[in-house]
A and B are shown apart, each in its own frame.
Chain A
Amino acid sequence: MNKQDIIKATDLVKTYGKLTAVDKLNLCINEGEVFGFLGPNGAGKTTTILMMLGLTEPTSGTARICGFDPAREPLKVKRLTGYLPEKVGFYEDLTAWENLDYTAALNGIPRDAASRKINELLGMVGLSEVGEQKVGTFSHGMKQRLGIADVMIKDPKVAFFDEPTSGIDPEGIEQVLNLIANMAKQNVTIVLSSHQLHQVQKICSRVGILSKGHLVAEGSIDQLGREAIAGGKFRIELQVSEPTRKLINSIKKIKGVSNVESSGDQLLISCDEDLRPKIARAVVDSDSLLVQMKIEEYGLDDIYMKYFRES
């Protein structure tokens, strides 16, 4: 097993009758990464996660978690992975403490160690005060945080979160995302599925975009954003006092600049890398005055448009 690829999917296929939910999915996730699984509803995100956890069998292809096949060695995989399902449920007539205690018992954690761990985790997710309350009285956000404690109790190497932020209020979302980010700091590899790009970008180091069962794009969000708006190029917006032809030509001569468009006093420069220092010099060397220069931020909406609409 390559230590880098803690999660590896090879030609993963899942069909339900005639419907292909996941189609030849290939994916590698490195150890310690926070990987965001993006895609509209019904893109196959949950199905992929279920196959990786051994909760459903792939029609063909294989998944490997830490080198184990979840379809053949489910127990070894489940010992190493935590999973927070989309609609997580707890035993409503048991307290938060008792629910976690049950999970600890299912994992065979000795009682005194479990008890210490539960208190620690309840503190971490901010539920110490209500640990002795029945879960039935909890809000959705509280249950979600309890779910994170539930995942943490077995000290997983890999944690899967399926839509962890859906249906909770903005403050709750903030708390949940912070908790997940903290988990990542403890070297837990995290796979997060969501259709909320804005939230995912805050904590994910890399994302994969899934559409109709295909992985249509994979990479960091900056990278995907650039591809979405400018075909992988940087776009620099330049405002000068006098956009002379001479200035435009001198900018065009800079190595790496592929195109310059002008409209009024604005220049839109496409280039292969961030060439702002060189462009600034070109402006200074010319007679024109630099008003402002900024590198164009990719828009998350552009990513949406490109990858979700395309399919």
Chain B
Amino acid sequence: MSGLMAIFWKELADHFNSKRFIILSTLIYLAGIATIYVAAQNIRTGITENTEFIFLRLFIVSGESLPFSFPFFLSLFIPIVGIALGFDAVNSERISGNLSRILSQPLYRDSVVNGKFLAGLLTITTLVVSIVFLVAGMGLRMIGVPPTAEEILRLFAFIFVSIIYGAFWMSLAVLFSVFFKRMATSALASIALWIFLFLFISMIAGAIANAIIPVDQNSSLEMIAKNDEIYRTISRISPNTLYAEIIQVLLMPELGNPSSTLMLLSIYTKGMIPTPLSLGQSLLIIWPQLTTLIALTALCFAGSYIKFMREEIRST
């Protein structure tokens, strides 16, 4: 146990002192401040007397000068932070010749992976919590509308999910750092996978869905719904899609359930606006997505365990 804590504190200190953390956090804070500034300026558009969740709109509104919302920035940066914290976790220790020295001390091998993972997790948590609080605080000053209790709960759920999302990318990068002996390889592999899951998966999902059920303007609603279902199922391979769906349910409850055909129908039939989801319903809807994210994280973690536990540790 002492070994685990020693590694945890050492890694934590390393993370917070590392240049890459300072650069990334600066970037994220700047992005957060920029989006909240744009959001506060544009928040009046589209608000009617019936609009609920005014405070949450701070997080989702974007403007012409910066057409990206805060959650979009997070979904972009959190994977980068996760990868940056994990891609050299094990192979840098190996290359520097520290690994065989550390592993000849009386500690279980899993303590090394666990300690590093926990330190990374706490770093991500610190970053996400601080940026959300910063943005929320600035937003509060700018628009002067206090959040309701439900909005606060939704924000906490949003923070929690964002941390899990970061944990997934970090555990993936740690997995690569165990499998690839060179740091550059594991960094590139992580980033390649991130680009694939971020950019290409929706293209591929769309192509496959259209190949199975071709749709055009004359297609029946039923066909369109089926096409859309295939598209969504495939794109859910990507944790990025899962995260985006969770964010939508948590921060834009008035849009309804993203996986129900009702929402799709409402877009086509216009005028049929679903009532906002309650917090309980929202959590129920995101439950599968959330457990999938946690399961993916656990899977990567287990993979690095299996590989690392039985591996031969040479200093060369």
Contact = CB atoms under 8 A, between A and B. Distances in A.
Interface in A148-184: 150, 154, 162
A195 B295 CA distance: 50
Interface in B157-179: none
A165 to B, nearest CB: 15
B96 A83 contact: no
A46 interface: yes
A150 B313 CA distance: 18
B315 A150 contact: no
B97 A87 contact: yes
B266 to A, nearest CB: 57
A92 B96 contact: yes
A105 B97 contact: no
Contact of A50 (B2, B9, B102, B314): B314
Contacts of B106: 75, 78-79, 106-108, 154
Interface size range on A against B: 20 to 34
B216 interface: no
B104 interface: yes
Interface string A84-128: 111111111000000000110111100000000000000000000
A89 B316 contact: no
A227 interface: no
Given A55-B312, A56-B312, A88-B315, A83 B100 contact: yes
Contact of B108 (A75, A86, A89): A75
B44 interface: no
Interface string A12-56: 000000000000000000000000000000000010001001011
Interface residues of B, number: 24
Contact of B312 (A50, A79, A89): A50
A17 to B, nearest CB: 13
B6 A56 contact: no
A148 to B, nearest CB: 12
Contacts of B3: 106, 108
Given A50-B314, A86-B315, A91 B98 contact: yes
Interface of A: 46, 50, 53, 55-57, 74-75, 78-79, 81-92, 102-103, 105-108, 147, 150, 154, 162
26 contacts: A46-B314, A50-B312, A55-B103, A55-B104, A55-B313, A56-B313, A57-B310, A75-B107, A78-B105, A78-B107, A81-B104, A85-B97, A86-B315, A88-B315, A89-B98, A90-B96, A105-B2, A105-B9, A106-B2, A106-B7, A106-B102, A106-B106, A107-B2, A107-B106, A108-B2, A154-B105
